[in-house]
Amino acid sequence: MPTFYLTFAYSGPRRSNYQQIEAPDRATAREMAYKEYGPSWAFLYSEEEFADQARRYGLVALPDILVHESHPLAHPAPLIPDPADVEGG
């Protein structure tokens, strides 16, 4: 499962932290971030985008947020339903 990295605003209490989120995709990671922190975060990065930011900016990791395979968010529904799956389609 991909890992995403959440950073926080410099004006907030978590300005020196980052949060790893394991999720199947960016949309699910964003949803998890909102569930955990509401709008109180700054950016969501992929592993490649985050690269060496922790070292460069002296950020400290918070405990990971993981989506367990049995959780509904681990297998998000497609945004556009397949016409074959729609009743009468």
Q: Where are the domains of the chain?
A: 3-85
Which pLDDT score, from 0 to 100, does residue 66 have?
A: 58
Which pLDDT score, from 0 to 100, does residue 62 have?
A: 87
Which pLDDT score, from 0 to 100, does residue 55 have?
A: 93
For residues 12-40, b (16+ Cβ closer than 10 Å) or e, as one string?
A: eebeebbbbbbbeeeebbbbbbeeebeee
pLDDT in tens, 22-75: 899 999 999 989 988 888 899 999 999 999 999 999 999 987 765 555 555 555
Which pLDDT score, from 0 to 100, does residue 84 have?
A: 64
Q: What is the pTM of this model?
A: 0.70
Mean pLDDT of 4-31: 88
